[in-house]
């Protein structure tokens, strides 16, 4: 795995599962048996802080705690390539080269040009998500569902909300409701995954 391969270069992977409970993420974590921190984020703290709107999303952070490559789509394997059309090889090679010091990360101008910053609607959607999640934890799933729905209307591009709340609404996130949502989204000309363009062309 990347973490073990590159740990000697002063590098760590930190994974964060945006799931409704630790038990949802547990089978994945126990199967992978990671030696790096593997964290659980039921409240979507990370999504709020970094304006993350889908998974998988990766960021590069340097030794000083600076963002040196903004939110991007990257897969660690080609397991889902037949569905996503995205290959893992190029992003893994780029990470290796950055960690080994062979190529620099993005410049600050490149990062700012590639960053998506949250809008007022995005943050209102996250407040609606937060209220919904609070209600769900207190045994009020029907009230929670109202706020998850409102959040999805405010931020229709945010699949951490539209798909990520499906398990809290009793909806199969791999099932027909998801496929219908995805079909409507892509038919409107919107991409489900938004990988960054290569900043160096």
Please, which of residues 6-25 interact with other proteins by CB under 8 A? 9-19, 22, 24-25
> In this structure, what token pair is assigned to residue 78?
């080609």
Per DSSP, 77 falls in state S
Between CA 201 and CA 130 the distance in angstroms is 39
Q: Can residue 113 be called a binding residue for other proteins (CB under 8 A)? A: no
Cβ(58)–Cβ(72) below 8 Å: yes
Work out how close the CB of 186 gets to other proteins at its nearest, in angstroms, rounded to a whole number: 18
Q: Does 181 bind other proteins (CB under 8 A)?
A: no
- Helix (H) / strand (E) containing 24: helix 22-32
Q: Is residue 155 near other proteins by the rule CB under 8 A?
A: no
Residue ranges in 120-149 that form contacts with other proteins under rule CB under 8 A: 120, 122-124, 126-128, 130-132, 134-135, 140, 143, 146-147
By CB under 8 A, tell whether 152 contacts other proteins.
no
What is the rounded distance in angstroms from the CA atom of residue 38 to the CA atom of residue 160? 18
Residues in contact with other proteins, shown as a per-residue x/- string from 35 to 74 under the rule CB under 8 A: --xxxxx---xxxxxxxx--xxxxxxxxxxxxxx-x----
Applying CB under 8 A, the span of 82-90, 110-118, 180-188, 190-198 interacting with other proteins comes to 110-118
Whole-angstrom distance, CA of residue 179 vs CA of residue 85? 17
């Amino acid at each position: 795995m990347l973490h073990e391969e590159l740990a000697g270069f002063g590098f760590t992977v930190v994974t964060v599962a945006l799931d409704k409970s630790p038990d949802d993420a547990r089978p994945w974590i126990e199967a992978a048996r990671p030696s790096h921190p593997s964290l659980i984020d039921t409240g979507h703290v990370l999504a709020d802080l970094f304006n993350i709107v889908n998974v998988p999303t990766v960021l590069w952070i340097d030794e000083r705690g600076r963002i040196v490559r903004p939110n991007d789509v990257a897969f660690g394997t080609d397991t889902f390539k037949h569905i996503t059309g995205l290959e893992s090889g190029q992003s893994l090679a780029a990470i290796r080269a950055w960690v080994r010091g062979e190529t620099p990360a993005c410049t600050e101008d490149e990062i700012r040009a590639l960053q998506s910053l949250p809008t007022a609607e995005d943050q209102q959607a996250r407040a609606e998500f937060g209220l919904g999640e609070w209600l769900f934890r207190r045994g009020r799933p029907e009230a929670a569902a109202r706020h998850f729905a409102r959040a999805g209307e405010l931020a229709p591009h945010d699949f951490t909300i539209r798909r990520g709340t499906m398990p809290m609404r009793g909806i199969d996130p791999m099932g027909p409701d998801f496929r219908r949502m995805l079909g409507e989204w892509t038919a409107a000309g919107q991409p489900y995954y938004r990988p960054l363009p290569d900043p160096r062309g």
